[in-house]
Chains A and B, each alone.
Chain A
Amino acid sequence: MNADIEDRLRAALRNQADGTDSAVPDPAELRGKVSARRQISPAGGWMPSVAAAIVVAGLAVAITVTVNHRSAGRQALAGSAAQSPSLSDPTPSASPLATDKPTGGLSDVPQPTPQVAVSTGPLSIANLSGPLQHEIVPVNAWTIHCNGANYIVYAGQSVGIDAMARYYPTGIGSVLGVISYQPSDSHLKPFHYEGSAGLGPLKITALTCSAVSLVDTVDGSEHSYDLADQLLH
């Protein structure tokens, strides 16, 4: 009986394998890309560059948030200046830092919503979230095909999630995966990543993707999104 099961298993595996075809890519191209990547990252491997990218992105977001907070603080001060004679003197302080530290009237001002500025020109990993964020309907399990190099994927259940959730653990949502592939790592075809959401809306913060297609692997429906408009303004 075991022999019968073994034969059936062997036949099934080989039938399945024989039905699998895959064009063999050009090994020279892969070699070239691996070598190019090595030159970019002398430490070798992609982990150091990913770690560095995450640190840079975190710093960029933190700086932007700080700037926005300060900007909001200045606006609040300007708004309250009319009612507050002590703050109506526009003469700048000798120390620029002094003007950045609001000393009165701020407690009545609602906290500003952090925003991330959108830069023009080529996008970098520092330009996360905000208008680049793209919300996609809830899916069960998903496959993403991205024709670009860098993107971040995560799922959450609420609006307003942006990449800062990655850097502010109290943020809503959970990061499903952070993929930061340099072009030299994108190998021979558009990068492909998949995972499962199951928690709620899937959001994609695409950085250099100009188009993303998402396939619900349970019901087979496919959703395509052209992100170019969002990425290029």
Chain B
Amino acid sequence: MAVRERPWPRTKAGDVVASGGLSDADFDELFRGSWLSLVRLSRLLVAEVSLAEDVVQDAFAALYRRRDRMRDVAGARSYLRVSVVNGSRSALRRRRVASLALRSHRFDDDVAGADQQALANAGTTAVLSLLHTLPLRQREVLILRYFLDLPERDIAQTLGISQGTVKSSAARGLKSLKATLGEY
């Protein structure tokens, strides 16, 4: 099932948002509507729910401190996405040994039943384990493209790279996955 953020509520006047910063009500709505999808995004990057929650919480705290500078909700969403990706990257950097362990298997905070495990071994876990062996940039590009369905332009903006780099990173990542998944 695709993860979708809830559409932003419109004001009585019909405008999408009031310009010039976020009100507390705006913030709360954005928080409630985006929390889970951002945790899921971060979790795909860092492979641990509790760490993902910290990353997202930090992103929202930073957003709230800068709420006066947000032009609109779209800008706030974009800020959150960048903040979560960057925060996840920083968290991964601090956890290099654990990330090595990830290459061998796991998403350790999920304890699946035996039947689920058998199915997972053939599918999700295998793909995700391979995904985590890719260089960080390729992994980020693939997650943003295939999880959030972001267009190349938005991926480039989120990661601070060119669209050409997005394209080449995605191609290399898919090629690597294909080469290994062909064995499964």
Taking Cβ atoms with an 8 Å cutoff, the residues of A that contact B are 1-2, 5-6, 8-22, 24-25, 27-28, 30-31, 33-34, 38, 44-45, 140-141, 177, 185, 187-189, 192, 194-198, 217-218, 220
- Output the least CB separation between A142 and chain B (Å): 8
List residues of chain B with CB within 8 A of the CB of A28: 24, 28
**Structural contact, A22 and B39, CB atoms closer than 8 A:** yes
- Output the least CB separation between A71 and chain B (Å): 40
Which chain B residues (34-83) contact chain A, with CB distance < 8 Å?
35-36, 39-41, 43-44, 49-54, 57, 60-61, 64-65
Known: A14-B3, A19-B110, A22-B49. A30 touches B57 (CB 8 A): yes
**Structural contact, B98 and A5, CB atoms closer than 8 A:** no
**Structural contact, A45 and B128, CB atoms closer than 8 A:** no
* Chief secondary structure at chain B's binding surface: helix
Known: A12-B123, A17-B147, A188-B57. A31 touches B24 (CB 8 A): yes
A153-B68 Cα distance, complex, nearest whole Å: 35
List residues of chain B with CB within 8 A of the CB of A21: 36
List residues of chain A with CB within 8 A of the CB of B24: 28, 31
Q: Across chains A and B, which 5 residue pairs bring their CB atoms closest together, nearest first? A: A196-B97, A12-B127, A27-B31, A17-B40, A141-B97
A122-B128 Cα distance, complex, nearest whole Å: 46
**Structural contact, B31 and A30, CB atoms closer than 8 A:** yes
Point out which of A27, A141, A185 has the most chain B C-beta atoms below 10 A from its C-beta.
A27
Closest to B32 in A: A24
List residues of chain A with CB within 8 A of the CB of B1: 14, 18
Closest to B31 in A: A27
**Structural contact, A11 and B124, CB atoms closer than 8 A:** yes
Given contacts A5-B178, A12-B124, 6 further A-B contacts (CB under 8 A): A9-B146, A10-B147, A17-B41, A27-B60, A140-B101, A194-B94
**Structural contact, A140 and B97, CB atoms closer than 8 A:** yes
**Structural contact, A5 and B181, CB atoms closer than 8 A:** yes
- Pick 17 A–B contacts, CB within 8 A, sort by A: A13-B146, A14-B147, A15-B124, A17-B3, A17-B147, A20-B43, A24-B36, A25-B35, A27-B60, A31-B28, A141-B95, A141-B97, A188-B57, A189-B53, A194-B98, A198-B97, A217-B98
**Structural contact, A5 and B174, CB atoms closer than 8 A:** yes
**Structural contact, A16 and B44, CB atoms closer than 8 A:** yes
* B84: interface (CB < 8 Å): no
List residues of chain A with CB within 8 A of the CB of B12: none
**Structural contact, A17 and B44, CB atoms closer than 8 A:** yes
- Output the least CB separation between A181 and chain B (Å): 11
**Structural contact, B177 and A192, CB atoms closer than 8 A:** no
A217-B99 Cα distance, complex, nearest whole Å: 10
